[in-house]
Structure 1
């Protein structure tokens, strides 16, 4: 019987590769973590700092540096970070050279409520506490509490996602019956918006009005711009 040495060579090569892979993985898992790096997503203001993140890990008995990679529970580290009031999402991984890297998405406020309690509303429509590290430049909201967040959120979200409105709307005020008034930056007039409905139509009407009035240099002649009717803009002069 003729022996096929090619099969034997292939088998030995495969066995060697499996051994080397297992050896490398074991060696990698037994490597100690020597450094922790915290990375925040680009272009975000720091509502939570790297120092605060490290302190949070210590407070929750998450020891990172000096421990063996295979003994570190990465899922628990992520869970601890995601539970922070200022963190929307966190991902954790360990590099081959023993660095524990954490990538953090911070929560993003889109409005600041002033009332019996002061807090932010974030971009997901949830209540968010103030940060000791940074104060967000977002519209000020009055006349609401935690129970009205769901009602006002579509209005705040629309403003947040529109560059023109972000630049011009500085205040959102809830009035009787769930009607809203808006403040406009550097303008003497207010906007009577009405209820949180027909947002596209109302804001498109406002943009058209603003562009025309600005061109005609009439913006400072109004004290109220009424958008509640949806299909028209009713202006009250001073």
Structure 2
């Protein structure tokens, strides 16, 4: 008997015993926490909306939760429909995501991630809406107007309701131009507005200089903006701001300068 006991790996037995005891303690602790959380009441509702400016206000969040789920403070944590609250908050057009967390002190925290506007669009009917970074249309806010490019002119695409997807190549192109401009600090400072003319071409309104910039469509934006850079760097310093009324960047391998106000092309420069 004693001889057989010598062959037992006591170290392994001890580790197995410790593991079983630890696992049992963990289950006991989890059961205790579960029981405690079932009885614990919410004493505070904290809403976190990151950023200095906000499409939605704290009172909007409070009102939605109150209308949908009643008073939160004072109820047990176990009775709170966390996932339903998150889904309801995500139904607000300005909210991209919402997370609701609870702690053992009875505090409920709601963290909001807002949508990020890239472009403001005013169509031919005067409908006014934003495009966000996910190519989603969303309405204006009563609380906040972000400093983004504005596109107007001969834009026919309408805005539906709530969150609406893009329907036309034109709006896709306007979004692409806005994203391109936003990524470059120089163009972001120079381009003030986008305009769609009656030929369906995208034009840009500059902050500096009284001239027309015709992009055409949104293809090959890196090439077109490089041509615009050459126009500013090499042509304007030689002839001055008043010589040309505009520049057309839509032609391949050419910078086409517009001299007369009637948009007759007077000079083209090969790259």
Instruction: Tell me the TM-score normalised to structure 2 length.
Output: 0.76
| Cα distance, 1:80 vs structure 2 | 0.8
* In 2: Cα distance, 1:95 partner to 1:217 partner: 68
Distance 2:86 2:253 in 1: 49
Structure 2 residue 129 is matched with structure 1 residue 119: yes
The separation in 2 between residues aligned to 1:124 and 1:177, in whole angstroms, is 28
Report the equivalent of 1:37: 46
Aligned to 1:78: 86
Larger relative contact order (C-alpha < 8 A, sep ≥ 6)? 1
Residue 78 of structure 1 deviates from its aligned partner by: 0.9
**Residues 50-100 of structure 1 deviation map (CA, whole Å, 9 limit, x = unaligned):** 111111212223542211112212111111111102111212211222221
Q: Secondary structure at the match of 1:203?
A: helix
Greater Cα offset, 205-214 or 193-202: 205-214
SS of 1:91's partner is strand
Instruction: Call closer, same or farther: CA 1:190–1:67 in 2, change over 3 Å.
Output: same
Residue 209 of structure 2 is matched in structure 1 by 187
Structure 1 residues without counterparts, runs of 5 or longer:
none
Q: Where in structure 2 are there 5+ consecutive unaligned residues?
A: 159-166, 261-271
Which of 23, 26, 29 aligns to 2:35? It is: 26
CA deviation vs aligned residue, 1:25-59 (integer Å, no higher than 9, x gap): 321343111111111234x5211111111112122
Equivalent residue, structure 1, for 2:225: 203
The count of corresponding residues between Structure 1 and Structure 2 is 237
Structure number with larger C-alpha Rg: 2
Instruction: State the superposition RMSD in angstroms.
Output: 2.8
Deviation at 1:199, TM superposition (A): 1.1
Match for residue 107 of structure 1 among 77, 100, 115: 115
What is the CA-CA distance between 1:9 and the residue it aligns to? Answer: 7.0
The 2-side partners of 1:139 and 1:220 are apart by 26
User: Tell me, what secondary structure is at the counterpart of 2:254?
Assistant: coil
The answer to whether the 8 A contact 2:173-2:217 is kept is no
Other structure's SS at 1:234 match = strand
Q: Deviation at 1:156?
A: 2.1
Rounded Cα–Cα distance in structure 2 between residues aligned with 1:13 and 1:123: 48
Q: CA deviation at 1:6?
A: 5.9
